[in-house]
Chains A and B, each alone.
Chain A
Amino acid sequence: MGKYRVVHYINQFFAQIGGEEKADYRPEAREGFVGPGMAFNAAFGDKAEIVGTVICGDSYFNENLEAATKEVLDLIKSFEPDIVIAGPAFNAGRYGMACGTVASTVEKELGIPAITGMYVENPGVDSFKKDIYIISTKSSAAGMRDAVKTMAALAMKLAAGEEIGASAEEGYIPNGIRVNFFEEKRGSERAVDMLLAKMAGKPYTTEFPMPDFDRVEPRPAVKDITKATIALVTSGGIVPKGNPDHIESSSASKYGKYDIEGVFDLTESTYETAHGGYDPVAANQDADRVLPVDILREYEKAGKIGKLHRYFYSTTGNGTAVASAKAYAAAIGKELVADGVDAVILTST
């Protein structure tokens, strides 16, 4: 029997084409492996081989979702794969969304098994964990070695049509599918064991995790926008020129609060972005493209809104832990309420 044919999907960064300045790179196919594909080939041994690699820039993919998915799918199809591997994307949000879209569409439309790998906080996880196997990886490419090992093993099982074990055994992120099996101990015994472990402060694993429906009820609409105070908040990293608070370009450890009293326009010489997760050229030229102070000032003067709040809040959203973002926003929200703000425009890049 020959080797399984594997097609690998990666972004412009892992293909070593470039960073954010190349994130609009259009889909392209290359014969054989590229970048991390080498490690996958080594892990496959003589069982499988990457016959082709499909590359696409993260911004191009997410900004042209339908067209890009189709282009990528056609390129993947041309290699006639037995299995498709996307990523791993670690904690890169756009890459995660792209990998999830590619893998789930390959399964749905081509009927070929496909897997990917991501860090559990990647937004691609919640979007696609029910559709495809997503191997749980570390948050950065430092976790490549482990990710490749686990992904390659699961990919080989899928290609061979073998039975896939539970998430904890295979290393994928739980997809909510339950499988019947016989436990050695009966339920009452397991429940008492678990209770005893809990009481003793020892680790235990629940057999039925409660679903995490973290949704917030929409707040009532603003009654009279011409009297409302509106605040601007951004995860796009807009800061006064020179980044006085030294907000990190990724995995931000803080947010900034900036006074815009008397500021009517954000210019190249006064504001910039600290964000390292997108091409900063457009935002550095004119930060209003991310944080629309100019138009809100215009509307304030024209009486279309009551007031633009005196301060804006900013952090960089890339690679920032969900727990940090949550804490920053809870603090920001509390301040805004105390300052009498009525509504918030939050911009993301």
Chain B
Amino acid sequence: MVKEIERAGLPVVHMCTVVPISLTVGANRIVPTVAIPHPLGNPALSIEEEKELRRKLIDKALKALTTEVEEQTVFEQ
């Protein structure tokens, strides 16, 4: 899906937990996430802590979207 939307002309950031799958299918901008059932959250945290976690992940995603890439790139930091 990432690839087809990108083919249509838009930069896409793929936020997912199983990065090897994302690399195999051909996503260009990848942000690794927390866990399969809750990629952008963690039920073990308080609501505020969880929101902070989500903000950090979204910050990474926005950074990925504003970074020029020439090949598949995993944004760890």
A binds B: yes
Known A63-B17, A216-B6; contact A235-B54, beta-carbon cutoff 8 A: no
**What is the interface residue range for chain B against chain A?**
35 or more
* B18 contact from A94, A279, A304, A347, Cβ within 8 A: A94
Chain A 166-196 against B: per-residue CB contact (8 Å), 1 yes, 0 no? 0000000000000000000000000000000
CB-based nearest A residue for B11:
A219
* B14 contact from A225, A228, A348, Cβ within 8 A: A348
Chain A 211-246 against B: per-residue CB contact (8 Å), 1 yes, 0 no? 000111111111101001010010110000000000
Known A218-B71, A289-B38, A292-B40; contact A345-B10, beta-carbon cutoff 8 A: no
Known A282-B41, A290-B38, A295-B58; contact A222-B11, beta-carbon cutoff 8 A: yes
Interface size on A, residues (CB 8 A): 69
* A330 contact from B8, B50, B66, B67, Cβ within 8 A: B8
Residues A346 and B37 in contact, CB atoms below 8 Å apart:
no
Known A329-B4, A336-B5; contact A348-B71, beta-carbon cutoff 8 A: no
* A329 contact from B3, B41, B71, Cβ within 8 A: B3
Say whether A151 faces chain B, with CB atoms less than 8 Å apart: no
Say whether A140 faces chain B, with CB atoms less than 8 Å apart: no
Residues A215 and B26 in contact, CB atoms below 8 Å apart:
yes
Cα distance, A169 to B49, chains bound together (Å)? 56
Residues A62 and B1 in contact, CB atoms below 8 Å apart:
no
Say whether A15 faces chain B, with CB atoms less than 8 Å apart: no
Known A63-B35, A221-B11, A290-B39; contact A348-B16, beta-carbon cutoff 8 A: yes
CB-based nearest A residue for B73:
A218
| Shortest Cβ-Cβ A-B pairs, 6 listed | A333-B8, A289-B41, A329-B4, A329-B1, A218-B28, A282-B38
Chain B interfacial positions (CB closer than 8 Å to A): 1-18, 20-22, 24-26, 28-29, 33, 35-43, 50-51, 54-55, 57-58, 61-62, 65-71
* Sample of 12 A–B contacts (CB below 8 Å): A62-B36, A214-B3, A215-B26, A217-B28, A221-B69, A222-B11, A281-B43, A286-B41, A294-B51, A343-B10, A344-B12, A345-B12
